[in-house]
Amino acid sequence: MLSIRFKLLGLLAAATLAMTAASASARLGPVPSYYQLLGSPLVAGDGGGPVNPGVDVSLNPQPLPPFPDPGANVDLTNPGDPVYTNPAVASSYQIDFGMNAGGAVSFVVPTPGDPNNFSFTGTGLGGDPYTIAFHIGGGVISPGSFVELNPQPLPPFPAPNFGVVGFDFSLEAAADPTLSFQVSSGSTDFGFTPIPEPASFALTGVAMFGLLSRRRRSSNA
């Protein structure tokens, strides 16, 4: 009986560790290179603040390579500054950035003075204002190549109720760029965590159910 209980506790611990490890990166299907994250204030404030935003982001070479992708990832070591990496080496890339804050966020993107470092704004369904800052590293963007794809129809986006904006750009030399971004609303800066994969919840649920069932049997014995 004790050995079974320890096994169940071990399964629960393994599930918890798997979900903790997921905080360093996140993946959203069915498109392998899109990642969905949930924001929350880095510093907790009083009630009445802006809606916590969800984001959905990708950075892909153009044309797209055959899936599965070669290891795209979002590094959340600094939750307030997620870094998207895609180990492809190409000259042309496309960024898709979606945002949900109680509904689809609408964007206004000024012409960037420096396409490697620029900011734009978004407005939530309830009127909350957001500022999004992008830093594209790993290569120099060719002057004049940076193009906003919104409001033209984009390919089907894998997350419903997300407003989306896209960007095309070319690098001066083929490279492996990175995209980091920050999201704020007034004085509130957001940090991001991955939305847990359903399999992680299922594993945790199985472990908890098994542990509770075992306890019920022991108490009835």
pLDDT of 66 strictly over 80: no
What's the pLDDT score for residue 33? 66
For residue 118, what pLDDT is reported?
A: 96
Poorest-confidence range of 25-34, 48-57, 121-130, 179-188?
A: 25-34
The half-sphere exposure of 23 on its side-chain side, counting CA atoms within 13 A, is 11
- pLDDT by residue (tens digit) across 180-218? 999 999 999 999 998 765 433 333 333 333 333 333 444
Choose among 114, 106, 105, 165: nearest CA to 135.
Answer: 114
Q: So what's the pLDDT on residue 130?
A: 97
**75 DSSP β-pair partners:** 83
Q: Give the whole-number percent of the chain exceeding pLDDT 70.
A: 63
Over the range 127-147, which residues count as b (16 or more CB within 10 Å of their CB) and which as e?
Answer: ebebebebebeebebeeeebe
Residues 126-143 have pLDDT tens digits of: 999 999 999 999 999 998
Euclidean distance between CA atoms 219 and 221, whole angstroms: 6
- Who wins on pLDDT, 165 or 152? 165
Query: Which of 45-54, 94-103, 149-158, 174-183 has the least mean pLDDT?
Result: 149-158
Q: Note the pTM of the prediction, 2 decimals.
A: 0.72
SS3 assignment, position 106: strand
Question: In the structure, what pLDDT confidence band is assigned to residue 76 with cuts at 50, 70 and 90?
Answer: very high
Supply the mean pLDDT for the chain: 73
